[in-house]
Structure 1
Amino acid sequence: MKIKILSDSACDLPEEIIKDYNIDILPIVVIKGEKEYLDKVSIQPKEVYENMRKGEVYKTSQISPMDFKSKFQEYGQNGESVIYIAFSSGLSGTYQTSLLVKEDVKSEYSQLDLDIIDTKGASGGFGLMVLYAAKMAREGKTKEEIIKAVEFYRDHMQHIFTVDDIEYLYRGGRVSRTKAFIGGLLNIKPILHVDEEGKLIPIEKIRGKNKVFKTMLDIMEERSKEADLKSQIIGITHGDDIEGALKLKKLIEERFGSKDFLINTIGAAIGAHSGPGTLAIYFLDRNYNN
């Protein structure tokens, strides 16, 4: 039986890939004032970033239990074999909600064939896991083979990113007001990663954007010593900064010889907290040999 891949909008995959591989995507809720929108459905990242530059503040909310229930019931009725690849439990309650709803729906549809994986990842790193799973499903791999691969990618996917303005991390609750104020005055660009628990952790503080790029690639080199960066897809996502993303791509090509890239805009689910100008790179620190 062909495996169906389900994910959520925080994976930040390009729309053409989602359509090509027939991936189901549940949108995360984006909130501005009293209004609620669906990420990449009723609100697009470009609008969010433009408004954030004008001082607008956005918040996000996890996928509702009712939305999960409706989708899981659909799978139960259709008898589909499904893997839900979920946004990091360290950044959202979405994963935990999906587990609870699954048990509820199984009491109604005992035949529900659904596995749920916590990626401990976000944005492009999360998206690469979903893409790898969708490719394997298209190739006719078994559910066990796909789950094994995704769990390897989860354990070895590196997320390295920086934000253009530390003020957005303050608004998103990631740094204190004092740190945001001092960081803004000193033009400090924090470099962060996603740790093994799926949480955002600062690892460097750099002054000036050019130094940030060099430091990000230094970290990439250090963490990829057991990997072949030429033979894997390198993910790059950006907060409405395609020029910065393409510069990163060029630097990675020149330094590591990488040829295969997946570049996309960070959606509102992540961008509402990281802000415009965010740049991130994703890669495996060890190649997968199935």
Structure 2
Amino acid sequence: MTVKIITDSCCDLPPELAAELGLEVLSLLVINEEREYRDQLDITPKDVYDGMREGKIYKTAQVPPHVFEESFERIAREGQSAIYLGFSSELSATFQSARMAKNSVLEKYPELDVELIDTKAASGGFGMIVYETAKKANEGASMEKVLETANFYIENIDHIFTVDDIEYLYRGGRVSKTNAVLGGMLNIKPVLEVKEGKLGPVDKVRGRQKALRRILELMEERSVDKDLSNRKVFIYHGDDPEAAERMREMIAEKFGVNDFYISFVGSVIGAHTGPGTISVFYSKRNLV
């Protein structure tokens, strides 16, 4: 029996790709004023970015515990084995909700076979972990082999990104008002990463093109064997396909990469990073 992969919408895999991979995707919530939207079901990244450009402010919330309970109960009733790959516990309470839900369902269904994995990742980095793990599961691999694949990518996926407008980081509490104002005046573009599940700064440069070049430098520095030519690279953007294409061309030229997946930074992450975000995700070493 194929191991079922459950994940949440912060993996930012588009619904059509999630369906192709056979994923069950549980939605976090996006909130504007008093209205709640289920990520990927009631609201799209494009909706969020357009709203932010109009001055709307979005908040986000974890997957509700009852959603996990319904999913896990279904797995138990069907006698399946499953793995839940979750959004970083350092960035959301979603993973804790999954743990609480599993404990609750075990009381009713002690035979429940669901492994919970904290990916310590977000957006396309999280998405790449889910993508590679689901491919292994769909090959009919054992639970042990599927978990090995997940853990390899959790340990090796690199997340590097830059935002176009530092004001959105200020709104999310990531930078001070002073830094936001000065950053805007001086055209400062922060380069950031997700490391050990936490969001943190790497560098700051002046200008968009320098930020993209800095991402290339970091990829070269961090790749274990310095050869990225045979790896897949995910490029995610905040409704800026032109910049994503420019990033793709730069990576292809520098590293000889020809396997890319380009998509949106999703509604939940995008609500905090804003339009114009460019992010790159890749494995620092090859799976052996």
The alpha carbon displacement at 1:228 in A equals 3.6
Spell out the pairing of 1:76-91 with structure 2 (5 A cutoff): 76-91=76-91
Change over 3 Å in CA distance of 1:264–1:188 after alignment to 2: same
Per-residue CA deviations over 1:52-92 (Å, capped at 9, x if unaligned) read 01111000000011111111111111111100000011111
Equivalent residue for 1:107? 107
The alpha carbon displacement at 1:15 in A equals 2.3
Cα distance in 1, alignment partners of residues 74 and 165 from structure 2:
42
Equivalent residue for 2:11? 11
| Secondary structure of the corresponding residue to residue 161 of structure 1 | strand
The alpha carbon displacement at 1:140 in A equals 0.8
Spell out the pairing of 1:1-290 with structure 2 (5 A cutoff): 1-196=1-196, 198-226=197-225, 228-289=227-288
Cα distance in 1, alignment partners of residues 65 and 285 from structure 2:
36
TM-score (norm 1): 0.97
| Secondary structure of the corresponding residue to residue 107 of structure 1 | helix
Cα distance in 1, alignment partners of residues 129 and 107 from structure 2:
30
Cα contact 1:239–1:266 (8 A) shared by 2: yes
Cα distance in 2, alignment partners of residues 44 and 16 from structure 1:
13
Cα distance in 2, alignment partners of residues 257 and 167 from structure 1:
35
Cα contact 1:166–1:184 (8 A) shared by 2: yes
Cα distance in 1, alignment partners of residues 74 and 174 from structure 2:
37
Which ranges of 4 or more aligned residues in structure 1 deviate by more than 2 Å?
A: 225-228
The alpha carbon displacement at 1:22 in A equals 1.1
Cα distance in 2, alignment partners of residues 177 and 163 from structure 1:
16
Cα distance in 2, alignment partners of residues 55 and 183 from structure 1:
19
The alpha carbon displacement at 1:144 in A equals 0.8
Cα contact 2:68–2:98 (8 A) shared by 1: yes
Residue 78 of structure 2 aligns with an amino acid whose one-letter code is: N
The alpha carbon displacement at 1:227 in A equals 5.5
Cα contact 2:5–2:134 (8 A) shared by 1: yes
| Secondary structure of the corresponding residue to residue 229 of structure 1 | coil
Cα distance in 2, alignment partners of residues 126 and 176 from structure 1:
27
**Residue ranges of structure 2 left out of the alignment (5+ in a row):** none
Cα distance in 2, alignment partners of residues 179 and 16 from structure 1:
39
Cα contact 1:228–1:287 (8 A) shared by 2: no
| Secondary structure of the corresponding residue to residue 201 of structure 1 | strand
Cα distance in 1, alignment partners of residues 286 and 140 from structure 2:
21
Residue 142 of structure 1 aligns with an amino acid whose one-letter code is: S
Residue 244 of structure 2 aligns with an amino acid whose one-letter code is: A
Percent identity, aligned pairs only?
Answer: 48
Cα contact 1:29–1:39 (8 A) shared by 2: yes
Paired residues in the alignment total 288
Cα contact 1:238–1:280 (8 A) shared by 2: yes
Per-residue CA deviations over 1:12-36 (Å, capped at 9, x if unaligned) read 1122211111100001100000110
Cα distance in 1, alignment partners of residues 181 and 198 from structure 2:
23
**Residue ranges of structure 1 left out of the alignment (5+ in a row):** none
Question: Which has the larger displacement, 223-232 or 56-65?
Answer: 223-232
Residue 145 of structure 1 aligns with an amino acid whose one-letter code is: K
| Secondary structure of the corresponding residue to residue 230 of structure 1 | coil
Cα distance in 1, alignment partners of residues 177 and 76 from structure 2:
47
